[in-house]
Amino acid sequence: MSIQRALKIHNQDKWTWLYIAFIILFVSFLFGLTIAVFIPGDDKIMITGFSYIFVYMFVMGVTGFSQTFAYAMGMSVRRTDYWMSMAIMGLRSSLLFTIIFVFLALIENWTNGWGNQLIFFHFPYLNDGNIFKQFIVYFMGFANFFFLGLLISIFAKRYTLKGLLILGLAFLFSITLAVLLITYFEVWMDLFQWFVQHTAFQLSIWFIPLTLFYMTASFLIIRKTAV
């Protein structure tokens, strides 16, 4: 099956899909731990370790497509199968990083910040719920960022830089209009209170329709994307 050939292409690039992310995470954690060791005091030191992987998943969605699409088409892989292979890789990576973060968050909590008051994996608010809720929060976050990057990359390939520029301008216009309306009707405080009243788990549920939209849109666009 062509989907297996596509997966083989991705699996050969373990540096991009795994090793680089682990190196980034390890170096950033080591940096944070060093700061915690050499800075005296009882105050907790907070470094958002999850943000590095969120950004990396977005980058993987963008570069994973741009680096392998033409090659996969040359290997006679169907566009549908290629998209499926990208989706599998993205979901698999999201699952792997989620397991790692939840597991290390438990250890960090048990060891009181690795014995140095460091907050790197067990982040306030995001890790307030039970293990299942923490799992959903991180998994949906990683998956959302990956498929957003994939959609942008496929959209840019299909509609070129001009189409991407138009999309970007339309997005900025929508954001600007939303800010003006919120300011005009003075609902900033209501919006802030709405976020405060919801847990990270409850907010992460909103990622589900967004992620499904990114997946559906990227799937429909790639079917008509030229090499």
Let me know if residue 227 belongs to a domain: no
SS3 sequence of 166-209: HHHHHHHHHHHHHHHHHHHCCCHHHHHHHHHCCCHHHHHCCHHH
Check residue 91 and give its pLDDT: 97
> Is the residue at 126 inside a domain?
yes
Alpha-carbon distance 221 to 227, whole Å?
A: 13
* Residue that the structure tokens 């329709």 belong to: 209
Q: What total number of domains does the chain contain? A: 1
Q: Is residue 217 part of a domain?
A: yes
Query: What pTM did the predictor assign?
Result: 0.92
Alpha carbon distance 35, 113 (integer Å): 12
> Is 145 domain-assigned?
yes
pLDDT along the chain (227 residues), means of 10: 85 89 91 82 74 92 93 91 96 96 93 87 88 95 97 94 89 92 88 88 95 97 89
DSSP 120: S
Query: What is the extent of the structural domain holding 96?
Result: 2-222
Q: Which pairing describes strands 45-46 and 118-119: parallel, antiparallel, or unpaired? A: parallel
Q: Could you tell me where the DSSP H helices lie in 111-130?
A: none
